[in-house]
Amino acid sequence: MKNKDGLTLLEILIAISLLSILGVTINIAFKSGFDAWLTAQRRVEIYQDIRMSLDMLTRELPGAFVGGVGGFRGIEEGSVTYDGGGFGPNYIGEDPDSIEFTTLVEGNIYQVRYYLDGTTMRRCHETNPDDFADPVWDEINDIGTHINDFDIRYWNGSAWTSDGDWTTTGTLPDAVEITITGIDSEGNIFPFRTTLFLANSG
């Protein structure tokens, strides 16, 4: 039976069904596109955090020196236990991978420490330090999040080592290899690696 406009009930039901299918298809396509965009944005944030951490390290490491107030040491994760003090504020337990050194940047001497606390990369610094063994941090800054791992290796001229203290040796390691690995909400990891040769070594 046709209505006054000439459409049957069956035709109306078919039109509604087609519109519903079209609406669901558009919604699925939109959601998929939005999810992909959101994932890409999160990865960009992770890349930016890692890049900023690496940029700061690569800017400060070339000025590292030992002797006088200068010192340089690397700590492997879980190898040492500290009660805070010089190795991080209120930090008790197994120390994470960290690198601590004295550096000369634009005429100023800084003692800096980089370490991973959970998934946050942190940087401590003291300006014009008096004693490398007993720093008093001026600032502690979060410089990156979504970090899954912070791994450092040191080239001593014949082999790579995961830790060491060059403060009293009078020389620096020949090179430092830094790997920072980001992680997204889906558990995907993104490692970034760079190697720096230290001009003040030897």
Each residue's pLDDT expressed in tens, for the chain with a length of 202 residues: 445 556 677 777 787 888 888 888 887 777 777 777 777 788 888 888 888 889 999 889 988 998 888 899 888 765 544 444 444 443 434 456 889 999 988 888 999 999 988 889 999 999 998 888 888 889 999 998 889 889 999 998 899 998 888 988 888 999 999 999 998 888 888 899 999 998 754 4
Is 177 inside a domain boundary? yes
Do 135 and 171 form a contact (C-beta atoms < 8 A)? no
> Which pLDDT value is given to residue 6?
63
pLDDT at position 85 = 42
The pLDDT, as a whole number, for residue 175 is: 94
Number of domains into which the chain is organized: 1
Is 104 part of any domain?
yes
Look at strands 98-105 and 92-94 and give their pairing: unpaired
The answer as to whether 6 is a domain residue is no
Token readout for 178 is: 């830094």
Q: What is the pTM of this model?
A: 0.75
Please check whether residue 126 lies inside any domain of the structure: yes
On whether residue 31 sits in a domain, the answer given is no
SS3 annotation, the chain:
CECCCCCEHHHHHHHHHHHHHHHHHHHHHHHHHHHHHHHHHHHHHHHHHHHHHHHHHHHHHHHEECECCECEEEECCCCCEEECHHHCCCCEEECCCEEEEEEEECCEEEEEEEEEECCEEEEEEEECCCCCCCCCCCEEEEEECCEEEEEEEEECCCCEECCEECCCCCCCCCEEEEEEEEECCCCCEEEEEEEEECCCCC
Residue 33 located in a structural domain: no
Q: How far is CA 128 from CA 111, 112, 144, in A?
A: 7, 11, 25
- How far apart CA 115 and CA 110 sit, in angstroms, is 16
User: Measuring CA to CA, how many Å separate 119 from each of 72, 114, 130, 182?
Assistant: 24, 13, 31, 9
Q: Would you say residue 143 lies in a domain? A: yes
**Domain residue limits at 122:** 40-197
19 located within any domain: no
